[in-house]
Every structure is written in structure tokens, then in C-alpha cells.
Structure 1
Amino acid sequence: MKIVIFGLTISSSWGNGHATLWRGLCKHVVRSGHSIVFFERDTPYYAAARDLHELPGGQLRLFTNWDDIRLTASSDLRDADVAIVTSYCPDALAATDLILSEGRAIPVFYDLDTPVTLARLMAGETVSYIGPRGLRDFALVLSFTGGPRVASEFRGRLGARDVRPLYGHVDADIHRPVPPQPHYRADLSYLGTYSEDRQRLLEMLFVAPARARQDLRFLIGGAQYPDTFPWSPNIYFVRHLPPSEHAPFFASSRLTLNVTRRAMAEMGWCPSGRLFEAAACGAPLLSDDWPGIGDFFAPGEEILIARDGQDALAALGMEGAQLRRLAQRACDRTMDQHTSDKRARELVSLLEQMASSGAHRQQSEEA
């Protein structure tokens, strides 16, 4: 198949979770014999921190405005089998109109930000990447979030016909056990872009334990942290880490923390890709709690759950052998169920099912 994608970014991993996911997914889709064309608006925001300049085995098409690329996109769509539009794509509406007007490729929408999308819809806000017809024109809607609510919400609010989860994943070629590095050494680490809606939990599960355990070293890696962040002398900071540095970061952590954004935690069944990355690198996992977490890692056996600062301090006090056993089980689970290769096979299988069922042709006729 030829798959054309209109997305937020694959070229820059700075301040977003889309790029790393797309890189792993596209690489393994290409390895399985399919071709990828990825359209990305070339914004200064991402261009200044670009860490991928070409798509191995595929084509990356950067453009400054839609009018400049429309003819090229139209040409690519004429012989495409599938066209995917993603959440937060700045040209999502124009791309959707073009896909439907060409009428050749199976139209797919992939929401990598489902909890945010639904929260805005429920608040009566406009969602910039979804047009007035909702999702009814897409043969398939993929969601980064699963669980019991997503399909019914997308169907009821947006007219989606077929909704399937396509969860996060880890590229095991990049995220794997490596020797620890002294400059990343930490008793507890946290890797994530600053987010106001994570701050309360981050202060409870990371900052407060750091203040209580001045004898330990704490490390944050990420972008956009404000000067007002409540640092303490034993909290160290590494500004934005490209994916190539994730493995030594996690491998140097005695324990690493995951903090889930509020909308994701409330919706549930929305595992951060950081969980799988850390597990693949052999780091013991500590996470806030949310519905469905046990579907991905077994609490107490593959992951530790912290509901307050005392839970975090208890995890920090565990014996190294206990943490290593937990980390190994999480790594085994990740390699079995949550790799980019597995997600790519899931995606291709879903797309092949759509193609063989004639769902796209049926929708075109109904429209």
C-alpha cells in the first residue's frame, strides 16, 4: 500500500509526543513493504529543533503553506491506497477536503490526543482539526485512547462509523538497555514536557519526595519549564532530550516516574509512550494511577503506583533487587505487546481489512 499522512510533525520531537511515535510506526510500516509520504507544515517552532531531516524508506514533504503544496498532495493522493489525517495537524480540514475530493484513498483519521479532543467537545469548544461534518466521512477512526467511552463518544458526537484503538508504542531499535551515563544518574527521574495540568501531581510525586530525601539525586528532562518551577538543590535539569538520548537517560535511573495529563487520566486507557520507552530501556516504572493501567502493566509486579508522596517515598526505599525484577517483567511485557513493530502490524491489518471490505466505496456511494 501507499499511505499518505497529514500530521503535526515527524521531523521534530521538541515539545510534542507525536514525532517519536510516527517515526517508529512509519519505519516498521516501510519495513513490511509499504510506502509512506508524510506531509508536515514547516513551522519555525519545530524547525528550530528539527532532529529528523528525511524519512528512511519514505518521503517527508515539508511546506510553508497549504497553497504551495496542494498540487503535490493531490498528485500523491491519486495513487495512494490510504490517506491519514491526524489530530493537531494545522491543515487537517484542507487535507480532509482534498482526500475526499480525490476519492481514491481510504480516508482515515488518527486522534493521538483523544482525551483533549473529547474534553473540548464536551466543553462546547471548537476543535481545529475536526470540521463541521465531524468524523462521518472517514472510513476508519483510530484513537490513541481505548476504553469503554471512546467509541460511543466519537460515534455519538462526531458521527464516526468505525473506531479502533491504536495505542502508544516503543521503537526497540532506539529504546533499549544501554550502559548508564554519570550525567544522567538519578534515584528518581522524570522525562516530559512541562504541562500545567501535570504540575500538581509532579509536585506531589517528585518535588515533595526530593525535598524529603535530600540525600538522593532527582533529574527532570524536558522542554518549556518555567523559571517559577519549584526547584530544590537535589533536583537537576536537562533541557529537551532528543530520542537518541532517551535510552541512556532511562538506563541511568534507579526509578523513573510517569505523570499523566489530567484529561488522559480522567479518560483512562491512554498509556504514555514514555512508559513503554522506559520499560524497554530497563528502568523500573513508577506512575500515577488511572483507569485501565492494569491492561498494560500489572501493578505491583510490572509497575509501581503512587497515589501520594508517601507512595513515591516508599518506592524510593525499595531494595535494588526488587526494582530490577519489576523492571525486567515490564521490559518483557513491552517487548511482547507494545513495540512499534507490533503497532505497525496492527495498523496494516486494520487498513487491509478496510480495503478488502470495500468500506471506503460504500461510504462514497452513501455520501
Structure 2
Amino acid sequence: MKIAFYGSSLLSSYWNGAATYYRGLLKALAARGYDITFYEPDVYDRQKHRDIDPPDWCKVVVYDGTIEALREVTREAANADIVVKASGVGFEDTALLEHSLAWAHPGALRIFWDVDAPATLAELRADPAHPMHRALKRRIDLVLTYGGGDPVVYDYRQIGATECIPIYNALDPETHHPTEPDPRFSADLSFLGNRLPDREERVESFFLAPAARLPGQKFVLGGAGWGDKPMSANVDYIGHVPTRDHNAFNSTPKAVLNISRSSMAENGFSPATRVFEAAGAAACMITDAWTGIDLFLKDGEEILVARDGQDVQELLQELSPERARDIGQRALERVLREHTYAHRAADADRIFRSFAGRAVVEAAE
């Protein structure tokens, strides 16, 4: 089956947290025989910060950030069996949704793939006139999300979605795996994440505050936007970390930290890509608490859960290098066993085939 996928970017992770998810899942779907074309706009300097070349498992079409170019690439939806519009493309999202759905042929499966469901749902609740409401009820066959669990599924059904199914983040063991330590990332605790409004306060609480209280330990902060943020002298801010360095970033420190955005933590069931990247590198991860962690990793054995910054501090003070290595190894074994993109692609394949059959029948009626 042919998939036309309209998303933010496959080639660049620059200000694009969905890149790892797209790459892992679409590569695994291609391995199952899907013919995929990914359409991404040339915006936000992402093309200047590419961190992979166009892959051989997916055709990538980069289009100019203009309405004319958008209209041209959405015409290609007419040739696809499955048309996917992802959330958060970042350029004329509403127009992209309208045009891609309009060009999809009658028997095609039309999917809205939400990579930030809490944000999307908040926007829809705040705007009853949003075009997505009409699209969900009349033109979108299926909503897929990369997290959110039952709360997100319930909310999407309440606002009119025919069906909503989570396809969670996972690990691609070919790209994220243990590697040799790199002195650039040597630390007792590291965190990698861009500076975002609904993450900043939690980074202050879970990372910067413990760092200030532990002057004898070293902390490394990666991600875009933190340059003017006040931080203690034992925090080394290193800026954007390209995906090619993620394995070393995760493999080197004694522990790495996962901090969910506020909306993700409140909804739960939303493991970030960094959770699986870190586990794939056999890193010992400390995470902020959120509902659903136990579906993915076991607290105290495969991951360490902190309710606040004080917990982070105490966990670090008690964590020996030997225990950290043991937790990281257990996490790696768990995700390889249950949480790879091959597992997720098998789920997506079953869903596609089930819903595509319904779409063909309905188109013929």
C-alpha cells in the first residue's frame, strides 16, 4: 500500500521532536512492504540543520513554504491508499489538512496522526469553530496518537473522532544503541530537551534546582533555547545535540533525566522518544512521575521515578555507578523485548488493514 505522509520533517530533528518517531516507525513500516512518501515544508531552518540524508526506505519531498507549493504536493494524495496528515507541521496546518483530505481518493484511508495530542485537544476545546471538528466527524477515518492512553482516546471520541488509537514511541535498535563514552557528555546527570513554555518550570524543578543543591556533582544540559537561562556553575550547557550524538549523550553519564512537558505529564501514558533512546543506549534513566510508566518500564528495576526535584537529588546521592549500569541494562533488555518500532509497525499494519477495508466498502456504497 502507498502512504502519503504530510509531517513536520523526516530529515531534521531541529525544533522537531517528532523526527525520531517518524523515522523509526516509517522505516519499520517500509520493511513490511509499505511504499511511503513523506512531504515536509522548508521552514524553521530545518533543511539547514539536516541530521540524516534522504533514506532509501522512504521518498522525501521537500516543498517551499508557500501555499502554492502546499497545494501542489497535496495533489499527490490522490495516488495514495493511505493519506496521513500529522499534527504540528508548522506551516499552514489547517490548509494542509483541508487540501490533503480533499485530494484523497474515495477509497483511501484518511488518518490524522497526532504527535502532541494534549496540545491539539486543548486547542480544539478552546475553539468550537475549528475546522478540525468538522473534519473529525465527516472526513477523517482514524486518529492515531503517539501517546496519551485512555484519557486522549476518550477526549477524541467525545469531540467526534470515529476512532482514536495510540501508537506509542519506541526504539529503533539500528540507530539508538550503547556506544563508547564521550568526554563531552561526562556527567552525573544529563538532560536533553528544547526550551518550551510548558516544560521550563519542570526543568527548573527537576534539573536546575537539584544541580544547584549538589555543587559537587556535574550536570549537562542539551537542547535549543537555554542559552540565557540562569544556572549553577556545575551545569554545562552544550546547546542543540544532533541525533548522531544521542547515543553518546545517553551512554556517557551516570544517569540521564526525562522531564515531560506539563500537558504530557498530566495526561500520562506519554513516554517521550528520549525514554526509548536512553533505554536503547542502556542508560540509567530518572524520570518525572506520570501515569502509565509501568506499561513501559518498571520503577526501581528498569527506571527510577522522581516526584519532584528533591527526589532527583536523593536518587542521585544514593545511585552507585554499578546500580546505574544494572538499571540501564535491564531497561535495554525490556525495550528490545517489547518496545521496538518493529513492534509498533506490526500494530499499525493491523490497524491500517482493518480500517482500509472499511474505507473501501464505504466508498463503494
Q: 1:126 to 1:331 in 2, by over 3 A?
A: farther
- Residue matched to 2:147: 145
Q: Tell me the amino acid that sits aligned with residue 120 of structure 2.
A: T
Note if contact 2:279-2:332 (Cα within 8 Å) is conserved in structure 1.
yes
- Residue matched to 2:47: 47
Which piece of structure 1 moves more, 65-74 or 28-37? 65-74
Superposed displacement of residue 105, structure 1: 2.1
How far apart are the structure 1 equivalents of 2:163 and 2:272?
24
- Residue matched to 1:275: 275
- Residue matched to 2:87: 87
Note if contact 1:174-1:243 (Cα within 8 Å) is conserved in structure 2.
no
State whether structure 2 residue 112 is matched by structure 1 residue 109: yes
For 1:112-155, what per-residue CA distance to the aligned partner results, in whole angstroms no more than 9, with x for missing partners? 10011112233348768x36433542222101223222222112
How far apart are the structure 1 equivalents of 2:346 and 2:77?
23
Secondary structure, counterpart of 1:209 in structure 2: helix
Equivalent in 117, 120, 125 of residue 123 of structure 2: 120
Q: Which runs of 5+ in 2 are unaligned?
A: none
Q: What count of residue pairs does the alignment treat as equivalent? A: 360
- Residue matched to 2:360: 361
- Residue matched to 1:134: 136
How far apart are the structure 2 equivalents of 1:125 and 1:224?
33
Q: 1:219 to 1:242 in 2, by over 3 A?
A: same
Q: Tell me the amino acid that sits aligned with residue 133 of structure 1.
A: A
Q: 1:95 to 1:211 in 2, by over 3 A?
A: closer
> What is the TM-score of this pair, normalised by structure 1?
0.91
Q: 1:204 to 1:125 in 2, by over 3 A?
A: farther
Q: Tell me the amino acid that sits aligned with residue 359 of structure 2.
A: H
Q: Which runs of 5+ in 1 are unaligned?
A: none
Q: Tell me the amino acid that sits aligned with residue 22 of structure 1.
A: Y
Q: State how 1:164-243 maps to structure 2 within 5 Å.
A: 164-227=165-228, 229-243=229-243
- Residue matched to 1:338: 339
Q: Tell me the amino acid that sits aligned with residue 301 of structure 2.
A: E
Secondary structure, counterpart of 1:201 in structure 2: helix
**Overall identity of the aligned pairs, in %:** 34
- Residue matched to 2:292: 292
Which piece of structure 1 moves more, 213-222 or 131-140? 131-140
Secondary structure, counterpart of 2:136 in structure 1: coil
Q: 1:139 to 1:273 in 2, by over 3 A?
A: same
Note if contact 1:137-1:363 (Cα within 8 Å) is conserved in structure 2.
no
Superposed displacement of residue 100, structure 1: 3.9
How far apart are the structure 1 equivalents of 2:288 and 2:206?
8
Note if contact 2:107-2:360 (Cα within 8 Å) is conserved in structure 1.
no
How far apart are the structure 2 equivalents of 1:193 and 1:100?
35
Q: Tell me the amino acid that sits aligned with residue 32 of structure 1.
A: R
Superposed displacement of residue 44, structure 1: 4.2
Note if contact 2:181-2:248 (Cα within 8 Å) is conserved in structure 1.
yes
How far apart are the structure 2 equivalents of 1:55 and 1:66?
26
Note if contact 2:202-2:261 (Cα within 8 Å) is conserved in structure 1.
no
Note if contact 2:39-2:73 (Cα within 8 Å) is conserved in structure 1.
no
Which piece of structure 1 moves more, 304-313 or 234-243? 304-313
Q: 1:110 to 1:187 in 2, by over 3 A?
A: same
Note if contact 2:8-2:16 (Cα within 8 Å) is conserved in structure 1.
no
Secondary structure, counterpart of 1:48 in structure 2: helix
Note if contact 2:227-2:239 (Cα within 8 Å) is conserved in structure 1.
no
- Residue matched to 2:25: 25
Superposed displacement of residue 81, structure 1: 1.4
How far apart are the structure 1 equivalents of 2:101 and 2:195?
35
- Residue matched to 1:58: 58
State whether structure 2 residue 176 is matched by structure 1 residue 155: no
How far apart are the structure 1 equivalents of 2:137 and 2:11?
27
> What is the TM-score of this pair, normalised by structure 2?
0.92
Note if contact 1:79-1:104 (Cα within 8 Å) is conserved in structure 2.
no
Note if contact 1:139-1:363 (Cα within 8 Å) is conserved in structure 2.
no
Secondary structure, counterpart of 1:231 in structure 2: coil
How far apart are the structure 2 equivalents of 1:207 and 1:267?
24
How far apart are the structure 1 equivalents of 2:44 and 2:145?
28
Q: 1:126 to 1:269 in 2, by over 3 A?
A: farther
Secondary structure, counterpart of 2:143 in structure 1: strand
